[in-house]
Amino acid sequence: MRRTRVDKVNAELVTLTYGTIVAQLCQDYDSNYQDVNKQLDKMGYNIGMRLIEDFLAKSGVGRCANFRETADMIAKVGFKIFLNVTPTITNWTSDNTQFSLIFEDNPLADFVELPDDGRAQDELWFSNILCGVLRGSLEMVQMQIEAHFVSDVLRGDDTTEMRVSLVRYIEDEMPPEEE
Amino acid sequence: MAAPPRHATMQSISNGSTAQGTDRPQTQQTPQAQLSQQSPGLRVPSNRKTIYDRHLNRSRNAELSRASFAFLFGEMVTYAQRRVTGIQDLEKRLNEQGYPLGLRLLDLLFYRSTSTSSSALSSSSTSSSPPNRPLRIITLLHLIHGPLWRLLFNRAADALEHSVSPDTPNEYMITDNDPMVNTYISAPRDMSMLNCAAYVAGIIEGVCDGCGFETKVSAHNQPTELWPSRTVFLVRFGDPVMEREKVLERAGVK
């Protein structure tokens, strides 16, 4: 793997900025958390579509042979570069199309406590932007996936877990093979 | 969301600590613990991975990819842009998003300035005295120019000036030659006035307000040949602040 120096910023600036984004959405959507989740996913999707290029440039990795390799790449390279964490990959289905990412650490959720309104802990997926990022970036490399959180320590769960499923490889729109 | 409002925090801390007591195997049940079991509140993980179990300084020197910030900030600006009518409106919105951050960063700054000074002194007293909040304008501005900037951007701001015009003694300027937040923002030609560092202006405003200095802060493009994205943060203190400043000066308060 090519080693490129990754430009850094103070982690707290990222954390706090993400916090203000979610807070703003909660305000704009009048604490309709389903809508907030959706909007976060959408923002993540927009980010993912652009992030993949940065990922490929920084990591210098090639095409993955199968979805298991893709999962490895996401957890060990992607999350490492962009969030400096390495989620654990687990709970594969036997057909190798679904896995879980368990986040031991989640910089986006540092300093965070969900609103104590009796609903946020049941409805809001605070880090939902990450699902969108995966969806957007994998779509750019011909993989249609579905991702959602199934648990979050912010909700009082013991782990933070995201479920990722491969829907299909997008064959029709294969770009011309590089020389 | 980044941190709950001040009073809510205090409330939750007390809730949280008593609730934790109930989670642990224990010999006696205090009346408080029983009370907190009944009271509704936030659920916490059984492994106690809550913000209260985590040291506030843990992420102090942590770093993250600059790209991640750029993506988030870019998306934040794009989102805001869809909901506003013009440049001023957009800047106002970004400012408002930064403001609550300033309020909270102020507490964080003070917390950290005490913990370092007390450890450096290694004095015999266990409870370090609470840090002094700035009383005078200059002390406050130095706090922003130095520690706040270092916390956010890992360096001090580039200049701090007082308005030379006798008509506006309440105006101060903090300059950043190359604001990090604007590095990856390119405004369309018809929006060349836009300065997304309005977000940072909001943070400054929050810090000032949190200290009891009523202020309006705005970000302005002041490019130079050497620094094309040079930004001046114009800090305008309210009249009550200026009056108090005079009183404090006469009283010799530093």
Domains in chain B with CATH codes: 66-251 (3.30.1380.20)
Give the residue from chain A lying closest to B53, CA to CA: A111
Which pLDDT tens digit goes with each residue over A53-89?
A: 999 999 999 899 999 999 999 999 999 999 999 999 9
Considering only CB atoms, which chain A residues are within 8 Å of B51?
110-113
Nearest to B181 by CA among B64, B73, B104: B73
Q: pLDDT value at position B41?
A: 82
Confidence of residue A169 (pLDDT cuts 50, 70, 90): very high
**Quick one: pLDDT band at residue A179, thresholds 50, 70, 90?**
low
State how far the Cα of A128 lies from the Cα of A124, in Å rounded to an integer. Answer: 8
A10/B153 CB distance under 8 A: yes
- Distance in Å, alpha carbon of A154 to nearest chain B alpha carbon: 7
What CA–CA distances, in Å, run from A132 to A116, B22, B144, B241? 26, 38, 36, 46
Partner-chain contact B63 A10, CB within 8 Å: yes
Residue B115 banded pLDDT, cuts 50, 70, 90: low
Residue with tokens 């909001």: B202
Instruction: Provide the 8-state DSSP code for B147.
Output: I
pLDDT exceeds 80 at position B118: no
What value does the mean pLDDT of chain B take? 81
Across the interface, whether the CB atoms of A13 and B46 are under 8 A apart is answered no
Spatial separation of the C-alpha atoms in residues B98 and A17, rounded to whole Å: 8
Of the candidate ranges A28-42, B120-134, B178-192, the one whose mean pLDDT is the lowest: B120-134
pLDDT of residue B173 exceeding 50, the answer is yes
| Chain B residues closer than 8 Å to A107 by CB | 59, 62, 64
- pLDDT above 90 for B239: yes
Helix (H) or strand (E) holding B215: strand B215-221
Q: In chain B, what residues touch A158 (CB-CB under 8 Å)?
A: 45-47, 49
Q: Which amino acid is at B140?
A: L
Q: Which of B48, B75, B151 to mutate to test the interface with A (most CBs of A within 10 A)?
A: B75
Helix, strand, or coil (residue B116): helix
Task: Give percent of chain B above pLDDT 90.
Answer: 58
Give the closest of B41, B44, B73 to A17, CB-based: B73
Is A118's CB within 8 Å of B40's CB?
Answer: yes
Write the DSSP string, A54-118. HHHHHH-----SSHHHHHHIIIIIIHHHHHS--PEEE---TTS-EEEEEES--GGGTT-----SS
Of B66, B83, B101, Cβ closest to residue A7: B66
Q: Is the pLDDT of residue B108 over 60?
A: yes
pLDDT at A74: 96
